Amino acid sequence: MRLLITAGPTREPIDPVRFLSNRSSGRMGYALAEAALAAGHEVLLISGPVTLPPPSGLQLIRVETAREMFDAVRTHLPGCDAAIFSAAVADYRPAQVVSQKIKKTADTLTLQLERTEDILGSVRSQFGFHGFLVGFAAETENLIAHAQDKLLRKGCDLIIANDVSQSGIGFDSLENEVTLCLPGGQTMPLPRQSKTALARELIAHISRLSSPQAPK
Ligand code: CTP
């Protein structure tokens, strides 16, 4: 199948030398891309700024901001059979980007932020995507309840939920421990393991669940 994967953080500029971003390393998304390629799928990776080498054999589109990622997803989603949204997209960006470096004149500085585009949330409603849709839910409390709510709100077929309050897993870590949340309230915990091993397992689940003839 043809698979679109988003990965990494986004950077939202404040001025020519500063930005808002987050701790995402892109490792989970890049591991998923690699595992999907190894399983024989065609992969389009839309990546925010990361230091990882891109796996060879895929189509890579580099973006910086949430808006650029939104545009890239909208352009490239048609023709894909499945999409996995593993990017840690900034939820807010500075409402104004100033063209000159902000000088430290006052003792305090207030930044006004505005919401970014909800990329995953636009896939069904705005882009009319009918393929298999996978989102991530990074939560610090009520993991399963928040993940199930996200699954319904965004029209996903699968949410990969991880508890980011635990150290050593998730954001900027080599390992992850997730729970799969499916429509109908079904959940499946997967054990803590390297992101590489987990990615292989996740791609196998996604291939099985998205196959029209397979039992869900
Ligand atoms: N996501 C996205 N675009 C955004 C924000 C998030 O595509 N602007 C995607 C992420 O890649 C992830 C999923 O949405 O797959 C969940 O992101 P999260 O920020 O946890 O979801 P929200 O609905 O924004 O919920 P919250 O209120 O917890 O921030």
Q: What ligand 1 atom has the least distance to the C-alpha of 87?
A: 11
Active site residue 22: yes
**What pTM does this model have?**
0.95
Gap between the terminal Cα atoms of the chain: 18
Q: Tell me how far the alpha carbon of residue 103 lies from the centroid of ligand 1, in angstroms.
A: 33
Q: What are phi and psi of 29, to 5 degrees?
A: -65, -40
Residue bearing the CA closest to ligand 1, atom 8: 118
Q: Which residue(s) pair with 188 in the sheet? A: 180
Q: Tell me how far the alpha carbon of residue 150 lies from the centroid of ligand 1, in angstroms.
A: 8
What is the residue-level pLDDT of the chain in tens, covering all 216 positions? 999 999 999 999 999 999 999 989 999 999 999 999 999 999 999 999 999 999 999 999 999 999 999 999 999 999 999 999 999 999 999 999 999 999 999 999 999 999 999 999 999 999 999 999 999 999 999 999 999 999 999 999 999 999 888 877 777 788 889 999 999 999 999 999 999 999 999 999 999 999 876 554
Q: Tell me how far the alpha carbon of residue 100 lies from the centroid of ligand 1, in angstroms.
A: 31
CATH of domain 2-94+113-209: 3.40.50.10300
Residue bearing the CA closest to ligand 1, atom 17: 137
Domain map (residue ranges) of the chain? 2-94+113-209
